[in-house]
């Protein structure tokens, strides 16, 4: 079976990880499209490709991944002359496939390919990119023919397909954002408060707190979310929680209270409804 030729358009973090990972599974991209040869140069060099215009890169391929930010997907797609034998994909979680309407109007198939992974490094090594895809879920939205081929690619990358529903992307992506960047808000609060309590910088405080955060995530994967709960919310220690709230002031007190209130369903699973009532009472504003 002849494998489709793949082009990547956009030379940012997602293109860098996908490009390196595709080399790792012996399906290297044949073209890299960008609007700035200078900015795309380091990635092109790492992938062993020349920088082409988006239209020229698309022309060279059967599958074209638009690895650009959400607002850029529709205008980029509309700027390219598509062929009916192509599959055009975007990598967004939030954007519906109608952003690819211009490709569909030209008879091309369209699909979504959203790695549920944080790809923060603009120039990962091959090993880092392979690791980024290993064991993750990749959200796929595609017609029946493309879906089978995309699932094969997902499995080749060491990932698992997750089928996305049209019309549900904003909710799905809000969930992804809650599981990713939203975690940083309590960690920022924790670092600032620990810095004040310990007389150190927030960075030093974060270095001390990071293993605790990592241990919590490991426990949540091994034992489930309620199983990973610790501290006063897991033991219904009303006096300890009350002392926390008194020690904090201003916006941090409000954020801490809201975070603990958001934990009440998990705490109730751990301590039961009767004991959780004490926590509910102390957390009332």
Ligand X SMILES: NC(=O)c1ccc[n+]([C@@H]2O[C@H](COP(=O)([O-])OP(=O)(O)OC[C@H]3O[C@@H](n4cnc5c(N)ncnc54)[C@H](OP(=O)(O)O)[C@@H]3O)[C@@H](O)[C@H]2O)c1
Which residues bind to ligand X, rule: CB under 6 A? 9-14, 33-36, 39, 54, 67-70, 72, 76, 91-93, 114-115, 117-119
Cβ-proximal residue to ligand X, closest one: 12
Cβ atoms within 10 A of the Cβ of 77, count? 27
* Residue 264: CA count within 13 A, CB half-sphere: 18
Q: How far is the CB of 76 from ligand X (least distance, A)?
A: 4
Q: How far is the CB of 28 from ligand X (least distance, A)?
A: 18
β-bridge partners, 161: 138
Q: How far is the CB of 69 from ligand X (least distance, A)?
A: 5
Nearer to ligand X, 53 or 275 (CB): 53
Nearer to ligand X, 91 or 263 (CB): 91
User: Side by side, which strands form the sheet with 6-9?
Assistant: 51-52, 31-33, 6-9, 63-66, 87-90, 109-115, 137-142, 160-163
Q: How far is the CB of 6 from ligand X (least distance, A)?
A: 16
CA distances from 87 to 13, 49, 77, 138 (A): 22, 21, 12, 17
Nearer to ligand X, 132 or 283 (CB): 132
Cβ atoms within 10 A of the Cβ of 160, count? 13
Nearer to ligand X, 102 or 205 (CB): 102
* Of 131, 138, 132, 130, nearest in space to 154 by CA: 138
What does DSSP say about strands 51-52 and 160-163: parallel, antiparallel, or unpaired?
A: unpaired
Q: How far is the CB of 87 from ligand X (least distance, A)?
A: 17
Nearer to ligand X, 55 or 255 (CB): 55
Cβ atoms within 10 A of the Cβ of 40, count? 24
């Amino acid at each position: 079976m002849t494998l489709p030729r793949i082009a990547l358009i956009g030379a940012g973090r997602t293109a860098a990880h996908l490009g390196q990972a595709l080399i790792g599974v012996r399906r290297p991209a044949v073209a890299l499209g960008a609007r700035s040869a200078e900015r795309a140069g380091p990635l092109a060099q790492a992938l062993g490709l020349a920088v082409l215009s988006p239209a020229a890169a698309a022309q060279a391929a059967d599958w074209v991944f638009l690895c650009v930010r959400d607002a850029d997907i529709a205008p980029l797609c509309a700027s390219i002359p598509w062929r009916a034998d192509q599959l055009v994909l975007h990598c967004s979680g939030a954007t519906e496939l109608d952003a690819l309407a211009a490709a569909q109007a030209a008879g091309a198939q369209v699909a979504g390919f959203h790695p549920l992974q944080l790809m923060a490094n603009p120039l990962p090594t091959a090993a880092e990119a392979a690791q980024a895809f290993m064991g993750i879920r990749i959200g796929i939205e595609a017609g029946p023919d493309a879906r089978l081929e995309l699932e094969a690619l997902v499995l080749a990358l060491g990932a698992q397909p997750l089928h996305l529903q049209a019309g549900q992307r904003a909710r799905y992506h809000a969930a992804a954002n809650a599981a990713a960047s939203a975690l940083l808000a309590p960690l920022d609060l924790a670092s600032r408060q620990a810095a004040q309590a310990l007389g150190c910088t927030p960075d030093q405080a974060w270095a001390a707190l990071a293993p605790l955060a990592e241990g919590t995530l490991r426990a949540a994967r091994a034992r489930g979310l309620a199983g990973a709960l610790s501290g006063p919310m897991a033991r219904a220690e009303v006096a300890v929680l009350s002392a926390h709230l008194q020690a904090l002031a201003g916006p941090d007190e409000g954020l801490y209270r809201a975070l603990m209130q958001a934990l009440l369903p998990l705490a109730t699973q751990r301590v039961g409804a009767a004991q959780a009532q004490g926590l509910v009472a102390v957390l009332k504003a």
